[in-house]
Chain A
Amino acid sequence: MSTALLTDLTIFILSLWVGFEVISKVPATLHTPLMSAANSIHGIVLAGAMLIAVTANNAVGYVIAFVAAAFAAMNVVGGYVVTGRMLKMFKKRPAAPAADSSTNGRSA
C-alpha cells in the first residue's frame, strides 16, 4: 500500500467522523437546507471535472470533460443558490411588510 493511499484513507475516515459529529448537531428544522448544503458541497467534483479537461486529448475525452463540467457546475451553482434561498425564509419573527417584498417564494 502506497503512502499516498494511506494518507487519502486517513483523510477520508477522519472527515467521516468530523461529518458525523458536526451534522448530528443540526436540528430537524434545518434538515432540508442541510441536505441541500451537503448537495452543493459535493459539487466540489467540479474541481475533478476541470482537471479532466487538462488530460483530455480525443473526442471522447472532450465529451466526457464537457458533460462532467456541466453536471458538476449545475450541482454546485444550483445547490448554493437554492440553499441560500431556503435559509433566507427562516425568520425568527415574520418580516415587516416592506422587507417582505424581496422574498420571491411567496405566492398568493
Chain B
Amino acid sequence: MSTFSWITQLLYVVAASGFVLGLHMMNNPATARRGNQVSTGGMVAAIAVTLAIVIHAGAISATGWTVMLAGTLVGSAIGLYYARTVHMTAMPQLVSIFNAVGGGAAALVAIHDYMRLTDAGLHVQTSTTVTTLLDVVIGSVTFSGSIIAAGKLQGLITSAPVSFPGARIVNLLLAVIVLGTGGYLIATPSLLGLLVVIIAALVFGVSMVMPIGGADMPVVISLLNAFTGTAVAMAGFVINNWALIIAGALVGASGGILTKLMADAMNRSIRNIIVGGFGTGDTAVAAVGASGSIQSVTADDAAIQLAYASKVIIVPGYGLAAAQAQHEVAALADLLESRGVDVSYAIHPVAGRMPGHMNVLLAEANVPYPQLKEMDDVNPEFARTDVALVIGANDVTNPAARRAGTAISGMPILDVDQAKSIIVIKRSMGHGYAGIDNELYANPKTSMYFADAKTALTELTAAVKTLVG
C-alpha cells in the first residue's frame, strides 16, 4: 500500500467519524444543528479526498473532468433550489426524491463498474457479481419505488392503494427473473443479463409501492431510506471504498430503526404493509353516524373551557397539517400561555407523512421544542389535564385500541380520554384510515367542534380574545 493510499484511507475514516459524530449529536435538539455541520465537514473531507484520488490517478480524460464537474454542478444547483424552497409540509416528497437519486446513483456506480469489466473481457469475481447484483437490484427498486412514493405524496398519483388482479403473480415472476438471471450472471458475465435485472427491479419498485396507501407512507419512506443506505454500502463493496460502506451502513441502520418504529406505532407488520397494501388515503369525508350520543360545542363555549383551564394538551394529527393550520394552533397556544395556561403538544409517532413530521411543522410555526412531547412522556400527564384539544387526529386517540378484537387493537394510542374534558376539532364524523368509529367521540367528557382546523382555530383564538381578553 502506497503512502498516498494510506493517507486517503485514513482521511476517509476521519470523514466517516464525522458522520457518526454528527448523527450522535442529533440526540438532542440543542446540539443537532452542530451535528449537521460536523456531518457536512465529514462529507467535504470525503469529497476532497476523492478529488485528490482522481487527480493522483492521473488517468481521467478532459471529457471525464467536464462530465464530472458539469454533473456535480447541475445536481448541486437542483438540490440547493429544492432544499431552499420546499415547504415543510412537502418534506416527505423531498426526502423521497433524495432517496430515489441516491439509490439511482448507487446503482449506476455498480453498472458502470460492471460495464468496464465486461467490456475489457476481464474475469468477474463471484463476490463482485453478487455485490453488483445486490447494489443494482436494491438501487433500482429504491429509484422507481421512491419516485412513485413521491408522486403519491405530492398527489400526482392517487394516494389510494392501486392494485390489479394477479399483482402478486407479477411480483413473484419479477423475483424469479431477478434470481434466475442473477444466478446465470454469476456463472457467465453478461451486460445484457444485467440490463434484464435492472428492468425487472425497476418494475418491481413500481409494483411494490403502488398498492401501498397514503397512510402507510411513513413506513414506506423509512424502508426506502434503509434501501438507499444498503445500496450505497453495496456500491462501496463493488468499488472497494470504505467511506461508502460505512456511510451506507449507518443510513441502512437509521432507516431500519425508523421503519420498525413506524410500523409498531401503526400496529402493522412491515410484511403486512408491503404484501397487504390496504392502507387507504386520507381520512374519508363521508359522514357516518357513530354509536352513542355526540355533543357538539360552539366556539365561545370551547374558548371558555380553554381560557380557564390550568393545563391544556394539544393533540395534532395529519388533519392539522393538511389544513395548513400549524400557525393558527401556535397562535392559540401563545394566547393561552400568556394567560398562564400550561400548554404542551402530544405527538403520536405517526402524526404526519413521515417520522417526526409534525414536530418540524410545529417548529416552523415557532413552537418551542420543549413543548413537543412524545407519546410515552405525555400519556401520564393526561390525567392531570383540564382540556385535551384534539385537532385532526383520529385513530391514534381511539380507546378501542386497548380492547381486543378491533381493527386497531394493540396500537399504541395517546390516552386523551383520561383528560378531564376533551374538545375535538374535526370536519365531520368521518372515519380514520382504520375505518372504525372513534369511541372517544361518544365519551360524555367529549365535545365535538365541527369545522375545518384552520377556521376552527382562528375562531377559537378570536373567541378567547373577546371573552377574556
Contact = CB atoms under 8 A, between A and B. Distances in A.
Interface in A36-67: 36-57, 60-62, 64-67
Assign chain A's interface to a size class.
Answer: 35 or more
Interface string B27-69: 1111011011101100100110111011001011101110110
B116 A75 contact: no
Main secondary structure of the interface of A (DSSP, over half): helix
A45 B235 contact: yes
A19 B249 contact: yes
A22 to B, nearest CB: 5
| A17, A29, A41 interface centre (most CB from chain B within 10 Å) | A41
Interface in B106-127: 106, 108-109, 111-113, 115-116, 125, 127
Contact of A41 (B39, B83, B261, B360): B39
Interface in B75-113: 75-76, 78-80, 82-84, 86-88, 91, 94-95, 98-99, 101-102, 104-106, 108-109, 111-113
Contacts of B233: 12, 15
Assign chain B's interface to a size class.
Answer: 35 or more
A28 interface: yes
A88 B33 contact: yes
Contact of B241 (A43, A47, A84): A47
B94 A82 contact: yes
A43 B356 contact: no
Contacts of B26: 26, 30, 33-34, 37
Interface of A: 1-2, 4-5, 8, 11-13, 15-20, 22-57, 60-62, 64-95, 100, 104-108
16 contacts: A13-B249, A22-B27, A23-B257, A27-B28, A29-B372, A37-B36, A43-B98, A48-B106, A53-B54, A56-B112, A67-B108, A78-B83, A87-B32, A87-B33, A91-B368, A92-B29
